[in-house]
Chain A
Amino acid sequence: MASLSVLGRAAEVPRRRGRFASGGIYWLFLAPASLLLAAFYFYPLLGVLWISITEPKPGLGNYALLWSSPAVQHVFATTARICALTTAITILLGYAVAYALVHLSPRGQRWMFLGVLLPLWISVLARAFAWVTLLRSEGLINEALLSLGLIHEPLHLMWNVLGITIGMVHYMLPYAILPLYANMRGIDARLVAAARGLGATRLQAFLRVFLPLSLPGIVGAGILVFIFSLGFFVTPAILGGNRILMIAQYISIQILEVLRWGLGAMMATVLMAIVLALIALLARLVDLRRLFGAG
């Protein structure tokens, strides 16, 4: 999965203009990466598309399942619901962090950034494991509550939507905070000061000046988090168990356990199509070249 700490940094790159007469030999520099990606990345991806329309028999039979199979529809609905929930909570919490970040002293900012970036790079499995330690029925949270006498039987904190959402929000937060912060940093603080000077209360100045200006950041970060959530495998699989299946886990079961390649490939193709459509939408709303640091 992508890392915005890299992407975010790349966004600061100024666009370099200027052409050179001879690019000739430098095209060769592009050859190793291009060939490797063509043969071992894009070719297998096209293979997935191919499988989805040829197995078990040629045609669009697999895609018809989108309309006829309640199981498939259920997976899509579950995934959409959990991703929407995750995105909403993540953006809300991420907004608070980004807002605090732009208003902190440089020293406080450094510490807060550390707190945001460190989890981003810590092993996703280590993080999911930490949540299992906390949330399972014999976990630390339940033990603490039981020994304090606040509850009499363990709460169900994982293997349900709650557990998946907690784990996913925890994973996605840095991906929301960084673009939100990048957007807020570009908002001219004098506009808020002017609104205050003209008699707006703090709340009015925030709601009518700052919030609308931060809307592109909210939309961009929201789409990004939603995209990453859609294809997320590890955390939902661990914290959801086998009871709540999101699309990525469902695909892996189709391929590795019940060997329905056609169905799995169809779902993967649809997932990819949705992600690409959302990226196209994102590109219309924010400057992707800046987000991904095209020199």
Chain B
Amino acid sequence: MERLSSGMALTKSLGWAVVMFLVLPITVVVPVSLTDQRFLSLPRAHLSLQYYVRLFTSEAWLSAIGQSFVIAVAATTLALVAGTLAAIGCWRISSRASGVLRMLMLAPLIVPTIVYALGIYRLWITLGMLDSYTGVILAHGVTAIPYVVITVSTSLANFDPRLEQAARNLGATVGQTLGRVILPNILPGIVSGAIFAFIHSWDELVMVLFITSRNIFTLPRRIWDGINENIDPTMAAVAVVLILLTVVLLALESALRGRRGA
């Protein structure tokens, strides 16, 4: 490219300014979580970890974290098995019909969650599955399938289908081909899918507002209640923990993607 003109410098600064608008407001929760005051504010006299102590000794917060974790792990497993198999099936069949089926599987990314929340709420009322682990896990699991289908499909696109044919021609069963040839080669895609499915469930609020009440009280619901009822600096500590968790998971994902070279 040619020398930097003032116009180009201006557009770049504008771009960076917008990125700052994306990042900086989020970081405000860090100082607030370290406040020494009793209300939501910046620290005045000194930094304090009292709200982290409160977070990790609070029965309510810990149980919410625990429930969210169990649900996210189970929903991820469900989405992972169904989504990976479906992606492999579509890739191998590669016909018009399987293409249409694949597009349909992406529907949860497009249809507004509020619409689905209504539907699943009604279905769980009918089946008596409101406020149960199974109910939340199924709802989160099926809506996480598209994330896995997309990441695994991306991996499969870089995988030579002749390897699969070679394995079959040399006498491997479908199971052996899957376990020893296909799955090891698309592992990074599967792990990416797992991370995105986990974050999807871990952070999901809308469905949970409808299909849970007393038994299941996930972390997003606890945060929602906190913001709407009694807002205190413990929430800032929760936000910091959530942000750190996301950063760690994404760093993991990006490291894997780097190894896969895609």
Which A residues are within 8 Å of any B CB, using their own CB?
A: 1-3, 6-7, 9-10, 12-14, 16, 18-20, 23, 25-30, 32-34, 36-37, 40-48, 51, 93-94, 96-97, 99-101, 103-104, 112, 115-119, 121-134, 138-140, 143, 170, 173-174, 202-203, 227, 230-234, 238, 247-248, 251-252, 255-256, 261, 264-265, 268-269, 271-272, 275-276, 279, 292-295
- Shortest Cβ distance from A51 into B: residue: B122
* Contact residues in B for A255 (Cβ distance below 8 Å): 118, 121, 210
Q: Interface residues of B toward A: which range? A: 35 or more
* Contact residues in A for B228 (Cβ distance below 8 Å): 238
B25 touches A130 (CB 8 A): yes
Smallest CB separation, B112 vs chain A (Å): 2
- Shortest Cβ distance from A174 into B: residue: B22
Which of B74-132 touch A at CB < 8 Å? Answer: 78, 81-83, 85-86, 88-95, 98-99, 101-123
**5 pairs of A and B residues whose beta carbons are closest in the complex:** A231-B112, A100-B15, A44-B119, A29-B89, A2-B109
B114 touches A132 (CB 8 A): no
- Out of B28, B99, B141, name the residue touching A140 (CB < 8 Å): B28
A41 touches B116 (CB 8 A): yes
- Shortest Cβ distance from A13 into B: residue: B157
- Out of B105, B146, B157, B249, name the residue touching A16 (CB < 8 Å): B157
* Contact residues in A for B12 (Cβ distance below 8 Å): 100, 103-104
A131 touches B18 (CB 8 A): no
A43 touches B123 (CB 8 A): yes
Q: In the complex, A146 Cα to B144 Cα: how many Å?
A: 45
- Out of B1, B22, B92, name the residue touching A116 (CB < 8 Å): B22
29 contacts between A and B (CB under 8 A): A3-B109, A18-B94, A20-B92, A20-B161, A27-B89, A32-B81, A32-B82, A40-B123, A41-B107, A44-B120, A94-B18, A97-B19, A100-B16, A112-B19, A115-B19, A115-B23, A119-B22, A122-B246, A126-B26, A126-B242, A127-B25, A127-B26, A128-B227, A133-B40, A139-B40, A232-B112, A234-B206, A238-B228, A251-B118
Q: From known contacts A23-B92, A26-B89, A119-B23, infer whether A37 and B145 are also in contact, taking CB-CB under 8 Å.
A: yes
- Shortest Cβ distance from B40 into A: residue: A133
A126 touches B142 (CB 8 A): no
* Contact residues in A for B111 (Cβ distance below 8 Å): 45, 231, 272, 275
* Complex interface bits, B191-205 against A, C-beta within 8 A gives 1, otherwise 0: 010001001001101
A268 touches B115 (CB 8 A): yes
A45 touches B119 (CB 8 A): yes
A134 touches B25 (CB 8 A): yes
Q: From known contacts A93-B18, A103-B1, A130-B28, infer whether A33 and B114 are also in contact, taking CB-CB under 8 Å.
A: no
* Contact residues in A for B139 (Cβ distance below 8 Å): 40
Q: From known contacts A36-B141, A122-B243, A126-B26, infer whether A23 and B118 are also in contact, taking CB-CB under 8 Å.
A: no
B113 touches A295 (CB 8 A): no
B108 touches A41 (CB 8 A): yes
* Contact residues in A for B220 (Cβ distance below 8 Å): 123, 125
Q: From known contacts A33-B86, A129-B239, A133-B29, infer whether A230 and B112 are also in contact, taking CB-CB under 8 Å.
A: yes
Q: Which of B45-53, B58-66, B148-156 contacts A (4 or more CB under 8 A)?
A: B148-156
Q: Which has the most chain B C-beta neighbours within 10 Å: A32, A104, A129? A: A129
- Shortest Cβ distance from A241 into B: residue: B228
